[in-house]
């Protein structure tokens, strides 16, 4: 499905939620309102931000302000070296087969002891101001833990919004896979940090990507942006500045880092306002 404008919000943990919220508010304050997008694609952290924006119940300023101060209800976690090593082993064993890589990571996630799915779902439900799919198009990405295939949830796909967002945020080896329609799903970022290829066919695309790198079988945001440009789209890719990366700290899943990440996103937005306006203008 094509259209005029698409906003792609990538994954990146709690610091990604904060930084994206600050970036969106900063751009709106500079006169570039990305909430007018015909399509919003959200992956992991981006699914949380996208669902909030599409709810129509929060302005960019209010979304930003929700990231500040105490992160009540959030659970601290860490993507440890052991989990990262298992990702690397799955990639090495999969060689050139990206789907096989995702299946291996899915099997690891299904076997991991990561706590009750219901408890994790409560955390995601508390993040959202609305539990209903919005009228304006929102796509939330996840990966089927058994098949390794991408699932692009939307209001027509049959699953609830909370379940879709929880699935998109189910970091393998950290959080439990999420059940939707009898299937188990893991974080959409296992396929791509942004899944920006879902914006194919849109004329103007802004990609906000807390994670700027790819690795082997996982394409980078820059590679996906280049393909969109090659197809004729005007594309702006925004990734964290050095100051923003410092604000994230060493653990993107630390609730205490969400506030400084949001402030860093707001500060960085001024650097991108002019180019964002040039892409977003009709």
Residue 150 and residue 65: Cα distance in Å, rounded?
32
Strand partners, 206: 7, 236
The answer to whether 187 is a known catalytic residue is yes
Which listed residue (47, 94, 163, 187) is catalytic? 187
Strand partners, 236: 206
**Structural domain count, the chain:** 1
Per-residue pLDDT tens digits for 220-278: 999 999 999 999 999 999 999 999 999 999 999 999 999 999 999 999 999 999 999 99
Which listed residue (21, 44, 55, 94) is catalytic? 44
Per-residue pLDDT tens digits for 45-67: 999 999 999 999 999 999 999 99
Q: How confident is the model at residue 2, as a pLDDT?
A: 54
Distances (CA, A) of 262 to 16, 64, 66, 216: 8, 7, 10, 30
| Residue 88, pLDDT above cutoff 60 | yes
What domain range includes position 198? Answer: 5-75+114-281
Q: How many CB atoms lie within 10 A of CB 182?
A: 5
The answer to whether 220 is a known catalytic residue is no
| Residue 117, pLDDT above cutoff 80 | yes
Q: Is residue 94 included in any domain, yes or no?
A: no
Q: Is residue 107 included in any domain, yes or no?
A: no
Q: Is residue 101 included in any domain, yes or no?
A: no
Which residues lie closer than 8 Å to 121 by C-beta, 6 or more apart? 162, 163, 166, 178
Per-residue pLDDT tens digits for 4-23: 999 999 999 999 999 999 99
pTM of the model: 0.96
Q: How many CB atoms lie within 10 A of CB 278?
A: 12
Please state the separation of Cα 128 from the chain's center in Å: 14
Per-residue pLDDT tens digits for 120-156: 999 999 999 999 999 999 999 999 999 999 999 999 9
């Amino acid at each position: 499905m094509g259209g005029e404008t698409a906003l792609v919000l990538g994954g990146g943990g709690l610091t990604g939620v904060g930084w994206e919220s600050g970036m969106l508010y900063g751009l709106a304050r500079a006169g570039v309102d990305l909430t007018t997008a015909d399509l919003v694609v959200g992956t992991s952290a981006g699914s949380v931000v996208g669902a909030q924006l599409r709810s129509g119940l929060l302005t960019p300023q209010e979304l930003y302000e929700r990231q500040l101060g105490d992160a009540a209800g959030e659970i601290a976690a860490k993507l440890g070296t052991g989990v990262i090593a298992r990702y690397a082993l799955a990639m090495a064993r999969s060689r050139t087969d990206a789907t096989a890589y995702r299946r291996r990571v899915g099997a690891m996630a299904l076997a991991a002891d990561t706590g009750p799915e219901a408890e994790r779902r409560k955390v995601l439900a508390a993040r959202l101001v609305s539990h209903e799919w919005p009228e304006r198009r929102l796509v939330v990405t996840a990966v089927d833990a058994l098949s390794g295939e991408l699932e692009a949830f939307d209001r027509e796909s049959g699953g609830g919004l909370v379940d879709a967002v929880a699935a998109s945020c189910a970091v393998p080896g950290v959080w439990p896979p999420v059940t939707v329609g009898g299937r188990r799903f893991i974080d959409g970022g296992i396929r791509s940090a942004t899944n920006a290829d879902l914006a194919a066919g849109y004329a103007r695309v802004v990609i906000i990507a807390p994670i700027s790198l790819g690795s082997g079988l996982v394409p980078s945001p820059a590679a996906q942006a280049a393909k969109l440009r090659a197809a004729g789209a005007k594309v702006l890719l925004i990734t964290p500045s050095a100051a923003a990366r410092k604000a994230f700290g060493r653990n993107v899943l630390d609730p205490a880092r969400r506030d400084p990440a949001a402030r860093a996103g707001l500060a960085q937005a001024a650097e991108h306002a002019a180019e964002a306006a040039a892409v977003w203008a009709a």
